[in-house]
Amino acid sequence: MSVHPQFPAAAAVSHAGATARFSIGITEAKKGWQVGFQPLGINILGSTIAVAAYFEPAVMLAEVSVGKNRLSLRNIRWVGGTVDAAGGRVRMFPDTVNWGGANRMETALIYSRDELGLIRNGPERKIFRIKYRDGAWHHDREVGFGIGAGMVHAATLTSDEALLVVESDLALKDWIVRKYYADGKAFIRNKVDPSVTVSPNGGATEPSLPLRTTGRKRKASTATISS
C-alpha cells in the first residue's frame, strides 16, 4: 500500500516505491503488510478501493487487481483536502467536530469513481458527500443516518441501496451491525441485520464484515485485504 507523504519515518519502514503502484504476493498479502498510516474502514466498488486514513484525516484511493499469485494496487492517489460550499479549501471536513476537537477519518463510502461519502469520528450521524470536479474534491451535501450515542467504526453501501454500519458503545464493549434504509435525504435505522455476524477478532471484541469493510484497529499499522 501507499505511504502518505506526511510520514517519512513510516515510509522508511514501508515498501519502497509504493507511492503510485504496489504489488505483493497473495500469501504475504493475507498476513498483512506495513502501510505507514492507520487504516480503518475499507470499501470496494468494482476495481476501485478506498481506505480511510484515520489520523490524517485522508482517503487513499487505488485500483486493485488480484491475479493467481499476486495482489496489485495501481493509480494510488490521496484525497487529503476538499473545497467547502463557500469555495474555501479545508482539511477534508467543512468544520471541526466538537467531540475531541479534531477530525479523524472513520470510513469512506464509494458512490462512484468521482463521488465519495466521508464518515468521521464523534457522536454525530452524518455522511459528507464529496464530488470530484474541476481538479478538486468539493463538498456536495450532508446526509444523516439514524440517532445514537455510540461510535461508527466502518460502513458500506449494499446492493439494495441501504447503509450497513458497524457501531459500538463509547466504551468499545458492545458491538453491533445495523442496516439503515434511505428515507428521502437521510437514512433511518431499520433493524439489526441478521445476515451479518459480529464476532471476536483475535480475542478482541471487534466486528468482522465480509470483504467490503474492516473494523477498528487503533494500534496496528498493517491492513489485510482478503480476496
Dump pLDDT digits (tens) for 140-186: 998 888 776 678 888 898 888 788 888 888 888 888 888 888 776 66
Grid cell 450521524 is found at 125
Query: What one-character DSSP code corresponds to residue 7?
Result: -
Closest alpha carbon to 3 in 56, 70, 67, 82: 56
Q: Which residues of the chain have pLDDT under 70?
A: 1-19, 98-101, 148-149, 184-186, 188-227
pLDDT of residue 158: 87
Grid cell listed for 141: 451535501
Q: Residue 202 in 3-state DSSP?
A: coil
pLDDT of residue 100: 67
Mean pLDDT, all residues of the chain: 75
DSSP-based three-state secondary structure for 67? coil
Instruction: Report pTM.
Output: 0.73
* pLDDT value for 185: 64
List Cβ neighbours of 126 (8 Å cut-off, separation of 6 or more): 119, 142, 143, 144, 145
pLDDT, position 2: 44
- Which amino acid is located at 115 in the chain? E
Residue type, 165: V
